[in-house]
Structure 1
């Protein structure tokens, strides 16, 4: 397992992090006993960063993670969750309620990182005047250590970095083999600002695993398929031949501190952990990937 420091937070984190969406049955049912064993194996195997959210299974992911971390494992984990829940407002009171509920479900007195979830769903004014002050109050009370923001919208992330009030950002599906637009402005800005970077959905919401998420619109799936055809030089095995190069592409990027991977079983976990060995794409492969789709987002303008 490889480790790095999450921006200016001082937190020493594994470059491979465990994402909580599959743990909360977001994509398909995951057996609770298997999930608990998987979390134990992840922590024992060196993964010390776990990211979840109240929206993952309406708190089920948080509950399962909290249960699995009992018995002494919590102290060795950098634990991250988000606010607010699916049916909660981004206002001051709603943010406080969301975090307090998360702490109870996670069975912990504090979380290391609290991120504003899908920040594009509310206004900048609400975040700066309501959500963020609530999180800063909770930080002063010792219930959270660091504050972050998450969204797929790169311009929004740059806007929030510029406030100098966030310790970390999380984007998803914006630094992957078929859309690497985060590298152009976001990663250099985060690095210059000392902001930690978490990269999610390196498989493009299932597109690079030949299993696109059901909610993806057909034009995006079709465009992704066109781009994937141009990556045949990376496809070494079937049927999921782009999973390993997609993971290594993110894990080897110095500007990314944590690459999140979802797993609902120990088998998937072991496969993912095997890729965190310091080996990225070959230089020529990396060059070809960057030349493809330069500056071309897979998603509509945001």
Structure 2
């Protein structure tokens, strides 16, 4: 297992982290027992970072994580988020959201609290309402570090430029078919010493040959993704879903990404994914070829 320091937080984190959406049942049914087994196995593999949110399973992900971590809280860096989609990102709602998360997680503190889905609010509300609430909670010892989350890179950039947070999280923006975070976001985060968390290294399942259900109606995107994947045949191995390994290694070995998140409720899948976190990435020639293919061409 490879480890990194998560920016200004100083947290020593496994470079592969466990994503909490599947633990809440968002991608198929699961149970408390399955989640406990998955988390126990993740800890055995050396993973020490779990990312969740109130949105995942409408609180079920946090509840199950809290139950699974009884007696093991100090072994894990827990990241959660606020506010839940559909609720105003006000100071009061932010405080309530985090208090509810603490209760579900059965813990006195959350290591990293992140503003969830910048797309759902405005920059002004974020800096005038949500972030001040986070800072108040930090003063109270209920959170240890502060971050923001977004799919859109342009929404994250002001938080980097003004050094408003300790971490940023995005998803599917440093993958084999869309590495749009490479040129501006990652270099700036490195300069500002702001930790980067990257979700969906398989591009919403596309690189695992199983696109997420919500993409099925986007024929144009899937057609373009298929075209790009054809150009990556030089990386495809003979294992089932043969781009999974190179895709994970691509993200896991990026020096400017502290944590790559993988979400699963399968022990077998978790074990396989963690085995790629050994410091071995693509060759120099392969990296050069990948970066010559889709430069400046955002997909997701």
Normalised by the length of structure 1, the TM-score is 0.97
Partner of 2:260: 259
CA distance in 2: counterparts of 1:145 and 1:64, whole angstroms: 22
Residues 99-137 of structure 1: CA distance to partner in whole angstroms, max 9, x if unpaired? 011000000000110000111111111101111111111
- Cα deviations by residue, 1:174-203 (Å, 9 ceiling, x for unpaired): 000000010100000000001000010000
Question: 1:215-269: CA deviations, max 9, x gaps?
Answer: 1222111111111111011111253101100000000100000000111121111
Query: What's the offset of the Cα at 1:212?
Result: 0.5
Aligned residues: 298
SS in 2 for 1:182: coil
Distance in 2 (CA, whole Å) between partners of 1:289 and 1:243 is: 15
* Alignment RMSD: 0.9
- State the distance in 1 between where 2:31 and 2:108 align: 27
SS of equivalent to 1:184: coil
SS class of match (1:178): coil
Structure 2: distance between partners of 1:231 and 1:191: 28
Aligned counterpart, 2:16: 16
Cα distance in 1 between the residues matched to 2:145 and 2:35: 27
Aligned twin of 2:292: 291
1:76 match: 75
Give the whole-Å Cα distance in 2 for the aligned partners of 1:119 and 1:209. Answer: 27
SS across alignment from 1:183: coil
Look up the match of 1:108: 107
Shift of 1:164: 1.5
SS in 1 for 2:36: helix
- 1:166 pairs with 2:165: yes
1:132 is aligned to 131
Cα distance in 2 between the residues matched to 1:165 and 1:124: 11
* Contact 2:148/2:165 (8 A) holds in 1: yes
**1:35 maps to what in 2?**
35
- Post-superposition Cα deviations, 1:48-99, rounded to whole Å, max 9, x if no partner, equal 111001110000100110001002x110111100001134210111111110
* TM-score of the two chains, using structure 2 as the length reference: 0.97
Which range moves more in the overlay, 195-204 or 216-225? 216-225
Query: What are the equivalent positions in structure 2 for 1:149-228 lying under 5 Å apart?
Result: 149-216=148-215, 217-228=218-229
